[in-house]
Structure 1
């Protein structure tokens, strides 16, 4: 608990891929409020299920310790007829998952032919022969197949005396064949961004703290709420697709599930 009379504050954590899951509303609130995805009603359940207005895409947040927490599925019912799936582990920062969902819900830009280029531009190491890229600190390995399949593995030190960053897996993500390149690029851009993420240190997994840098300056927790509201407003204003038949309006911001 914070000291009486002092507003709660958050730490600035980098690298961002080791900051922990964060607030899932960063993903779910814009989909529901800005893009009007419909939420399934699952009383007394921690599972969140959102469906796009064209019923072609579904986001599932299932906080199970033995499964991927985030699953984004597309039916393949559009023009190309190719289904695809993106799955993210529990400690994937919500901001990185949101890079995919925001990009999916807004008009697609020109698809890049090589999503790994965004990592090269961020000074990540790349192996052309085996289609892999590595973060400069060697905590992250990204494997990319030309058909669209991707495997992201993020590791961390297992304790204060560890010398190798491969001692413990922090989280993994898997994208199936035919995952749109512009979605892959958006995730990799979010993964490699140098911007820190705001986190409550008390909620971070203990082992992650051995592998991150935490800025001395703290940020008021209210800033994250303001940023989320501003982001929803910005995405709502940027929506340019043709309106579909009216849907029930989104409810209040979903409560945090972790």
Structure 2
């Protein structure tokens, strides 16, 4: 429930909002900054507002097509740059930017060696799975549900996994058929406020990075009037002392602690052979 003091705040006041998955999309500058500063990535602007990025290896394409059906961000990877994508991830326009930002940052950081550092034996490998993250925060499985899903303690966020066979190209063409989905809202399953979709071959460490941000209970910074109206009665709001900018930095640091934990390298050990990328369905 919102605090009584928050009801008297100026609509443009800076506040901290919890849970983050109901805070609204927020400011996406951190996503653009990661991609703009990624070495040798190319950027193109089309139709006045749509932004497209391509990795130097030509395997990854990132689109922020504002007026498309989903809006938000679509990210694809193809082992053959001219071939059908191996995987596609879609974050709709209302997805909180923290969830997109950590996915994008982890993608950019790991692409140089085809994610080998994040696979078993790699220096950033932790073995943390999305399922372990939801369990850590006491998300409850919905027994007998199809697709299988776990739901947050407040009932306003869901992480689901499709079960049963589906041709891999179907989920590449139709995000709603993707193997994994994150969603949140007053009814996160049937009428979500936002959704994110991950096709079956999306590397698990990338999904885990987004899941860490998705499930993290640390409040996120927002302008008060950026919180969706339909979520106002479902969130806790704390005013931010704007005379102390370090409060914002502290909140951002606390927010990212769990996401960073899944990338923290283990204690140094003897060198291991370079791992091969396991996320692709194609074997050369």
TM-score by length of 2: 0.65
Map Cα deviations across residues 162-215 of structure 1 (whole Å, 9 max, x no partner): xx7778521011111211111111111110011111111123322222221101
CA distance in 1, matches of 2:249, 2:202: 31
CA distance in 1, matches of 2:243, 2:225: 15
Contact 2:38 / 2:108 at 8 angstroms: preserved in 1?
A: no
Residue among 134, 145, 149 paired with 1:132: 149
Shift of 1:26: 1.2
1:180 lines up with 2:210 in the alignment: no
Residue among 220, 228, 231 paired with 1:208: 231
Shift of 1:48: 1.3
Aligned to 1:149: 179
Aligned to 2:130: 115
Aligned to 1:22: 26
Residue among 82, 85, 93 paired with 1:90: 93
Shift of 1:121: 1.3
Q: Within 5 A, what are the aligned runs for 1:63-74?
A: 63-64=66-67, 66-74=69-77
Q: 1:128 to 1:179 in 2, by over 3 A?
A: farther
CA distance in 2, matches of 1:22, 1:98: 11
Contact 2:89 / 2:196 at 8 angstroms: preserved in 1?
A: yes
Cα RMSD for the two superposed structures: 3.4
Residue among 46, 51, 62 paired with 1:48: 51
Map Cα deviations across residues 202-254 of structure 1 (whole Å, 9 max, x no partner): 233222222211013444696669979xx9xxx9xx9xxxxxxxxxxxxxxxx
Aligned to 2:102: 99
Residue among 58, 61, 64 paired with 2:64: 61
CA distance in 2, matches of 1:168, 1:26: 28
Contact 1:149 / 1:179 at 8 angstroms: preserved in 2?
A: no
Shift of 1:133: 1.2
Q: 1:196 to 1:129 in 2, by over 3 A?
A: same
Structure 2 regions of 5+ residues with no counterpart? 1-11, 121-126, 169-177, 264-284
CA distance in 2, matches of 1:221, 1:48: 34
CA distance in 1, matches of 2:189, 2:78: 35
CA distance in 2, matches of 1:76, 1:149: 20
TM-score by length of 1: 0.71
CA distance in 1, matches of 2:195, 2:62: 17
Contact 2:162 / 2:180 at 8 angstroms: preserved in 1?
A: yes
Map Cα deviations across residues 31-81 of structure 1 (whole Å, 9 max, x no partner): 221444221133x61111111121111111122273242111111338xx9
CA distance in 1, matches of 2:235, 2:130: 26
Q: 1:169 to 1:10 in 2, by over 3 A?
A: same
Instruction: Give the number of aligned pairs.
Output: 214
Structure 1 regions of 5+ residues with no counterpart? 1-7, 157-163, 239-258
Aligned to 1:161: none
